[in-house]
C-alpha cells in the first residue's frame, strides 16, 4: 500500500470510529421513538411504523445510486481507481437498501392495501432500479480486468442513473393516477411527533449509510492491495 | 475522416457483411417467429376470444425486444473475431462515429426483422393492418431507434466481458423499460384505431429517450472502445 493509500485508509478508520458510536446512539433513539414514543396511526395502525424504516431506506438507496453516478463520472474524468472503489461500494449499498425497500413495502401493503404487490409507479420504479443496479454488479464480476471493470461499470453507472427519471416517468404514464395516496411518506400532514421521529430516522439511516460506505470502501482498498501483492508474488495467492 | 462519412462507412460494412452471410437477419427473424408461436401456445388467444387489438401490442413488443437482442448481440460479437474490435478502436475517426455507424446498422436490422414480422403476426390473428399501418410504422420506428441506441451501447459494453451473451439482456432489458412501456401503450392506441393525436405524446417521449441515449452513447463510447 502506498503512502497515499495509507493516509486514506487511516482517514477512513477515523471516520468509522467516529460514526460507529453515533450510529449506535441514533439507532437506539430511533427504535425507542418508533416503538415507544410515536402513537399508532389512526387508520393503518401499528403497521404504519414500518414507514420509519421503509422511507429512509428508499432515500439511502437513491443516495447510493447518485453516488454511483457521481463517482463514475469522476472516475472517467480522473482515472483514479479510488472513485471506482467508491462507485462499487455505493452500488452494493444501493442494491442492499433497495432490497430492504422492496421487502418492507409489501409487508406494509398487505394489511393496508390488501395486496402484497401492486404495479404502482413508485414500487415499479424501485423494482426496475434494483434490476438495473444488480446488472451493474453482475457486469463488474464479468469483466476481464480491474481497469476494464472500472471503465465499463462507470459507463453503466452513468447510463443507469440517467435512466432513473425516464423510468419513473414512463411507469407513471403506464399506470396513470393511482387512486391510493401515500400520506405518511410525504411528511406533510404528519403529527409533529411523527414528523420528528421520521426526520430522526432519516438522519439515522443517512449516517448508517456513511458508515457502511466508509467500511465498504476500506474493504475495497484492502482487496486492491491484496491483488497487488498477489501480482508481485503469485505464490501468495495460492 | 469526417465523422459522418466514417459512420456511414462502418454502417455500410455491417450491411455488406450481413448481405453476404445473412446471419443476423435469419436468426433474429426465425427467433421472432418462434416467439410468436410460443406466445400463441402460452396464451391460446383464440379460445380466450382475444383479438389483435387487445393483445397485439404485447405480442409486437415482446417479439421486437427479444429478437432485437439477438441482432444487437451479433453486432459486436462479429467484431470480436480476428480482433476486429481493436481495428475499430484504431479507426482514424472519432469513436462516436463507430457508435453512430453501428447504431444505424442495428436500427436497420431491427426494422428489417419487424417489416415481415408485423404483417405475419397480424395474419396469425386475422387482423387487417392496412388502416393502421402508417401509425404503426411510426411507433415501431421511433421506439426501435431508442432501443437500438441503448442496445448498441450495451452490446459494446457486454462484448468486452467474459460471457457477453448472458450479460446483454440483463443490462438492456431493465434499462429499456421506458421504450417498452411507451411503445406498448402507443401501439395499443394505434391498433385500437385512434388518431395520431392520442399517442403523439408517447411517440415524442420515446424520441426523447432515443435522443438522450444517442447523446450518451456519443459521449461515452470512447471509454467503451478503449482496450
- Render pLDDT for A124-148 as a digit per residue (tens, 0 to 9): 889 999 999 999 999 999 998 889 9
Of B162, B182, B223, which is closest to A154 when you measure between CB atoms? B223
| Residue A237 counted as domain residue | no
Rounded-to-10 torsion of CA A85, A91, A92, A94: 140
As for how many domains chain A has, the answer is: 1
Of A151, A160, A166, which is closest to B178 when you measure between CB atoms? A166
Shortest CA distance to B101 belongs to which of B221, B29, B9? Answer: B9
Shortest CA distance to A92 belongs to which of A71, A120, A107, A122? Answer: A71
Mean pLDDT of the B201-209 span: 93
Contact partners, residue B9, CB within 8 Å, separation at least 6: B1, B101
Chain A segment 119-158 residues within 8 A of B by beta carbon are: 128, 131-132, 135, 138-139, 142-144, 148, 151-152, 154-156, 158
pLDDT at B4: 60
CB contact under 8 A, A142 and B161: yes
Q: Are B110 and B75 in contact (CB under 8 A)?
A: no
Of A76, A162, A170, which is closest to B177 when you measure between CB atoms? A170
Shortest CA distance to B172 belongs to which of B155, B159, B185, B189? Answer: B155
Please state the φ and ψ torsions of residue B19, each to the nearest 5 degrees. -65, -30
| Residue A238 counted as domain residue | no
How many cross-chain Cβ pairs, A to B, lie less than 8 Å apart? 86
| Residue A72 counted as domain residue | yes
Chain A segment 86-125 residues within 8 A of B by beta carbon are: none
- How many Å apart are CA B69 and CA A226, to the nearest integer? 38
Please state the φ and ψ torsions of residue B92, each to the nearest 5 degrees. -75, 55
- Render pLDDT for A58-98 as a digit per residue (tens, 0 to 9): 999 999 999 999 999 999 999 999 999 999 999 999 999 99
pLDDT at A181: 39
Provide the residue-wise pLDDT of chain A in tens; the chain has 238 residues: 567 778 888 899 999 999 999 999 999 999 998 888 887 776 777 778 888 899 999 999 999 999 999 999 999 999 999 999 999 999 999 999 999 999 998 888 888 888 888 888 888 889 999 999 999 999 999 998 889 999 999 999 999 999 988 888 888 887 755 444 345 444 455 678 888 888 999 999 999 999 999 999 999 999 888 888 888 877 655 4
Of B160, B167, B212, which is closest to A138 when you measure between CB atoms? B167
Q: How far is A102 from chain B (nearest CA, A)?
A: 16
- How many Å apart are CA A88 and CA B95, to the nearest integer? 26
Mean pLDDT of the B29-42 span: 90
Mean pLDDT of the B123-152 span: 91
CB contact under 8 A, B223 and A143: no
CB contact under 8 A, B160 and A135: no
- How many Å apart are CA B14 and CA B101, to the nearest integer? 9
Residues in chain B with CB shorter than 8 Å from the CB of A159 are 150, 153-154, 175, 213, 216, 220
pLDDT at B206: 94
Shortest CA distance to A76 belongs to which of A5, A159, A164? Answer: A159
- Residue B43's domain spans which residues? 3-225
pLDDT at A2: 65
Q: How far is B181 from chain A (nearest CA, A)?
A: 6
Query: How many residues are recorded in chain A?
Result: 238
Give ipTM to 2 decimals: 0.89
Residues in chain A with CB shorter than 8 Å from the CB of B216 are 158-159, 162
Tell me how far CA of residue B7 lies from CA of A33, B105, B223, B225, in angstroms. Answer: 62, 10, 18, 15
- Give the distance from CA B62 to its chain's centroid: 11
Q: How far is A161 from chain B (nearest CA, A)?
A: 10
Identify the H or E element spanning B66.
helix B52-80
Rounded-to-10 torsion of CA A137, A142, A146, A148: -100
pLDDT at A182: 44
Q: Which long-range contacts (CB under 8 A, 24 or more apart) does A42-48 make?
A: A44/A111, A44/A112, A44/A184, A45/A111, A47/A107, A47/A108, A47/A111, A47/A112, A48/A108, A48/A112, A48/A184
Q: What's the pTM? A: 0.89
Chain A segment 154-193 residues within 8 A of B by beta carbon are: 154-156, 158-160, 162-163, 166-167, 169-171, 173-174
- Residue A48's domain spans which residues? 3-232
As for how many domains chain B has, the answer is: 1
pLDDT at B156: 93
Q: Nearest 5 degrees, angle CA B33-CA B37-CA B43?
A: 140
Amino acid at each position: 500500500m502506498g503512502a497515499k493509500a495509507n493516509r486514506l485508509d487511516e482517514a477512513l478508520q477515523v471516520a468509522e470510529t467516529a460514526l460507529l458510536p453515533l450510529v449506535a446512539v441514533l439507532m437506539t433513539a430511533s427504535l425507542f421513538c418508533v416503538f415507544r414514543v410515536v402513537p399508532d396511526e389512526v387508520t393503518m395502525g401499528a403497521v404504519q411504523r414500518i414507514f420509519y424504516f421503509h422511507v429512509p431506506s428508499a432515500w439511502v438507496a437513491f443516495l447510493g445510486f447518485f453516488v454511483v453516478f457521481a463517482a463514475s463520472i469522476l472516475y472517467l474524468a480522473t482515472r483514479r481507481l479510488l472513485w471506482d472503489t467508491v462507485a462499487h461500494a455505493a452500488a452494493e449499498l444501493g442494491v442492499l437498501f433497495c432490497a430492504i425497500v422492496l421487502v418492507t413495502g409489501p409487508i406494509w401493503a398487505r394489511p393496508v392495501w390488501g395486496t402484497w404487490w401492486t404495479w404502482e409507479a413508485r414500487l415499479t420504479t424501485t423494482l426496475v432500479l434494483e434490476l438495473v443496479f444488480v446488472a451493474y454488479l453482475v457486469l463488474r464480476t464479468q469483466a476481464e480486468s480491474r481497469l476494464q471493470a472500472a471503465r465499463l461499470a462507470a459507463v453503466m453507472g452513468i447510463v443507469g442513473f440517467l435512466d432513473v427519471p425516464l423510468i419513473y416517468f414512463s411507469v407513471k404514464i403506464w399506470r396513470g393516477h393511482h387512486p391510493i395516496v401515500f400520506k405518511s411518506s410525504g411528511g406533510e400532514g404528519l403529527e409533529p411527533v411523527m414528523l420528528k421521529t421520521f426526520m430522526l430516522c432519516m438522519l439515522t439511516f443517512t449516517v448508517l449509510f456513511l458508515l457502511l460506505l466508509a467500511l465498504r470502501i476500506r474493504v475495497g482498498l484492502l482487496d486492491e492491495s491484496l491483488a497487488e501483492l498477489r501480482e508481485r508474488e503469485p505464490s501468495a495467492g495460492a | 475522416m469526417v465523422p459522418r462519412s466514417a459512420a456511414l462507412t462502418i454502417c455500410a460494412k455491417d450491411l455488406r457483411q450481413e448481405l453476404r452471410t445473412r446471419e443476423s437477419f435469419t436468426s433474429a427473424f426465425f427467433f421472432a417467429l418462434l416467439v410468436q408461436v410460443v406466445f400463441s401456445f402460452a396464451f391460446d388467444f383464440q379460445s380466450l376470444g382475444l383479438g389483435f387489438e387487445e393483445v397485439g401490442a404485447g405480442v409486437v413488443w415482446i417479439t421486437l425486444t427479444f429478437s432485437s437482442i439477438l441482432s444487437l448481440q451479433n453486432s459486436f460479437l462479429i467484431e470480436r473475431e480476428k480482433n476486429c474490435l481493436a481495428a475499430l478502436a484504431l479507426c482514424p475517426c472519432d469513436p462516436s462515429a463507430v457508435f453512430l455507424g453501428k447504431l444505424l446498422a442495428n436500427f436497420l436490422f431491427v426494422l428489417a426483422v419487424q417489416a415481415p414480422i408485423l404483417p405475419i403476426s397480424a395474419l396469425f390473428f386475422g387482423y387487417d393492418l392496412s388502416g393502421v399501418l402508417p401509425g404503426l410504422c411510426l411507433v415501431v420506428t421511433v421506439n426501435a431507434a431508442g432501443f437500438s441506441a441503448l442496445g448498441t451501447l450495451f452490446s459494446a459494453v457486454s462484448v468486452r466481458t467474459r460471457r457477453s451473451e448472458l450479460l446483454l439482456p440483463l443490462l438492456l432489458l431493465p434499462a429499456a423499460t421506458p421504450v417498452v412501456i411507451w411503445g406498448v401503450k402507443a401501439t395499443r392506441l394505434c391498433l385500437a384505431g385512434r388518431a395520431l393525436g392520442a399517442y403523439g405524446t408517447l411517440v415524442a417521449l420515446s424520441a426523447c429517450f432515443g435522443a438522450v441515449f444517442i447523446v450518451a452513447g456519443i459521449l461515452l463510447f470512447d471509454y467503451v472502445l478503449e482496450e
